[in-house]
Structure 1
């Protein structure tokens, strides 16, 4: 019984570490997507400014 209890504890530990790793990667992905959104917005602003300058 003690052997199966240690296996269960190790299994829970591995699962917890896996979940923590996935959550950390997810948060990192959010920052990357946010940065990409800011870059796209900046490019859009530059295009808009250029179009306004060309029409004047």
Structure 2
């Protein structure tokens, strides 16, 4: 029983870590697009 709980906890931790990295990467992408759009609006290049 303890082994099943430990396995479930490890899987949950791995999934949470992967999701956190995915969200962090998406936030960087959105920030990059926002910066590019702002630069273009001000007459600059991406």
Structure 2 length-normalised TM: 0.90
Structure ranking higher on relative contact order (CA contacts 8 Å, 6+ apart) = 2
Q: Count how many residue pairs are aligned between Structure 1 and Structure 2.
A: 44
Aligned alpha-carbon RMSD (Å): 1.2
1:22 positional shift = 0.2
Runs of 4+, deviation exceeding 2 Å? none
Residue 43 of structure 2 is aligned to residue 38 of structure 1: no
CA displacement, residues 13-42 of structure 1 (integer Å, 9 cap, x when unaligned): 001000000001000001000000000000
Gaps of 5+ in 2: none
Q: 2:11 aligns with which of 10, 13, 21?
A: 21
Gaps of 5+ in 1: 1-10
